[in-house]
Amino acid sequence: MKATRTLHDMGQSLWLDNITRGLLTSGTLRRYIQEFSVTGLTSNPTIFDHAIKNSPDYDDAIRQKVREGKSGEALFFELAMEDLTQAADLFRPIHDQTNGVNGWVSLEVSPLLAHDTTATIAAARELHARAKRPNLFIKIPGTKEGLPAIEEAIFAGVPINVTLLFSREQYVAAAEAYLRGIERRIAAGLNPDVASVASLFISRWDVAVMGKAPEELRDQLGIAVAGQTYETYLALLSSPPWQRIFNAGGRPQRLLWASTGNKDPKAADILYIRALAAPLTVNTMPEATLKAFADHGVFGPTLPAQAHHGEAVLARFTSAGFDLGALAAQLQDEGATSFVKSWNDLLECITSKSTTLKKAGSSNTTTNRPN
């Protein structure tokens, strides 16, 4: 049995952190579902930027949309919707079979709206409605400005993937925003069954302290933060406020491990997958990491068994002079800035490709014009 199947059977969902048109048209994503127990996927602007920039797979669609007068952000969202609705349809049987626990795909609102709560809410509602798929998450960052948008989107019945979380405290704030949205639905007599995941970023912790922390603590900080957050996650789900919404027909907001591709060449390529094995969570993996784990994945102790060790690791980082709260805030700010850069790079790519393809089309028309 493949390690991916073992992980799935243990109670963790495996989602792919990638989407390209080639993955869909080649049947590769379908194969990952069948062979690697993949039950969902996530996307982001960087993923789409690389997919569009490095492949001709989108060229025909871009040519057609340019002829229709579309450009920039509007053109991108049409391309993304085409990919993600096709992926959502592939995952729909899993979504139905698991009663909405799995089978999800994710689309991010424009990060340029990160400091505009009202515009973020409007974009989330509009994108989800356009997709016409029940298994599409809209990604909203769990920043200070994003939290009210998360609450309002959940109250409006829009499934949300809360992104850009780095610490237990940031996770709790996102979980409380979700809970408030569900409690408001219950008070208004609405169905409280609105799905959400809270995405905790892992590897960026270790990148941030690389070369600054004691060598014996190398690649341990992200896993320790995950263990601390997982304990809090389980405690929240067993607390009276959450039990009340479960009793009313609500569901848990699941904890998702994001940024689980290893960035340290000295460490195992499956470092974070092996360490973050934990029931009732999602691990969204880059494609190379997924294939590596399917090929040579092995298990150590599951995450709950490592909690005590994780607290000791966090204490050692604090003793070494690291302000982990400040670092979490810094990572979230840097992540938001990085998302904006990725978004601008993506729109620049769209504009460049549109211009190139339009010129090529005009040139061909001139060349083929009869004498």
Under 8 Å between Cβ of 137 and 154: no
What one-letter code names the amino acid at 196?
A: S
How far apart (Å, rounded) are the C-alpha atoms in residues 72 and 50?
16
Count of CB atoms situated within 10 Å of the CB of 86: 17
Query: How crowded is residue 11: how many other Cβ atoms within 10 Å of its Cβ?
Result: 12
β-bridge mates for residue 281, sequence order:
12, 255
Exposure pattern of 187-215 as b/e (b: 16+ CB <10 Å)?
Answer: eeeeebebbbbbbbbbbbbbebbeeebee
- β-pair type (160-165, 136-141): parallel
Q: Which residues pair with 160 in a beta bridge?
A: 138, 196
Q: Is 139 among the residues known to form the active site? A: yes
For residues 233 and 239, is the Cβ–Cβ distance under 8 A?
no
Q: What residues have CB less than 8 Å from 42, skipping those under 6 apart?
A: 15, 16, 17, 105, 106, 139, 161, 199, 258, 284
Q: For residue 215, give every residue at least 6 positions away whose Cβ sits within 8 Å of its Cβ, in sequence order, or none.
A: none
Report the C-alpha gap between 187 and 166 in whole angstroms.
Answer: 31
- The DSSP symbol for 13 reads E
| CA distances from residue 118 to 110, 114, 338 in whole angstroms, order as listed | 13, 10, 22
Choosing from 65, 139, 212, 353, the catalytic residue is 139
CA–CA separation, 188 vs 192, rounded Å? 10
Residues serving a catalytic function are 139
